[in-house]
Amino acid sequence: MNKETEIQKINKCISDLVYDKVAIRKAYNYYHCKRDPEQFRHIEENYGIGTPTSVTFTPLIKKHIDVLVGEYLELDPTLQVTCKDEKTLNNIMRDKQLKINESVFELFKNKLMNTFVNALMSDGKETVADPFFADEIEKLKKDISNSFISEYEIAAQNLMAYFKQSRNLDVKNKMRELFTDLLICGLAYYRLYHTDSTVRFEILNPLDTFIERNPNHYYLNKSRRAVIRK
């Protein structure tokens, strides 16, 4: 396969995905106070009858969106990590189970030592079994299961705290762009990749991002192909 054939195939794949996002473009024009001259041309032109009308654009959307984004960012939202890797999830569940087993073992050991001491000091009297011991074990398991934090989660949260304070990523302004896009057109795209020295967080324009979704996966990073126009 020669170079020209490869270029033709790439151009065909691009042309199959790229299209004019009319609705999204109108939404951004409204936000940036740009009026479509064709939309109200029938009002402005009088066609020789009556007096022509001049239509002006009153910015109503932009200030409301900017206020909502500003108020949300002032709350200093916590960045969270969602893990979907099966191997990591299995390791987390294994660490949790080991923690539960260790705590239950310590509880049994302490209970057994107390039982021996009570038996030695009871002067031959029959030792009464604790009827609430089984409930105590179940409560211990439930508490550990609810409060357990794995080393993977701690490391991930430390990384997110570092990224949030990193000047290279500039997360707060990137979040402002994402939320603004989401409020304007209901879509927000970004690309996260790493280089030899740092991590790059790039915000993509919804007008220039075209993705062919993979029906077998929910997330866009599992898509078959995508075009980013610059």
Single pTM value for the model: 0.65
Domain ranges within the chain, ordered by starting residue: 1-59+168-230, 86-151
Name the DSSP letter for residue 211: E
Residue type, 135: D
pLDDT per residue over 70-125, tens digit each?
988 888 777 777 777 788 888 888 988 998 888 888 888 887 787 776 766 666 66
Tens of pLDDT, residue by residue, the chain (230 residues): 688 888 888 888 888 899 999 899 989 988 988 877 777 777 667 665 656 666 677 778 888 999 999 988 888 777 777 777 788 888 888 988 998 888 888 888 887 787 776 766 666 666 666 667 778 888 888 888 888 888 888 888 888 888 888 887 888 888 899 999 999 999 999 988 887 777 788 899 999 999 998 888 888 888 888 899 88
Q: What is the pLDDT of residue 129?
A: 63
Q: What is the pLDDT of residue 73?
A: 85
Q: What is the pLDDT of residue 209?
A: 93
* Residue 175: burial class (beta carbons within 10 Å; 0-12, 13-18, 19+): buried
Interior/surface letters 27-63, b for 16+ CB within 10 angstroms, e for the rest:
bbebbeeeeeeeeeeeeeeeeeeeeeeeeeeeeeeee
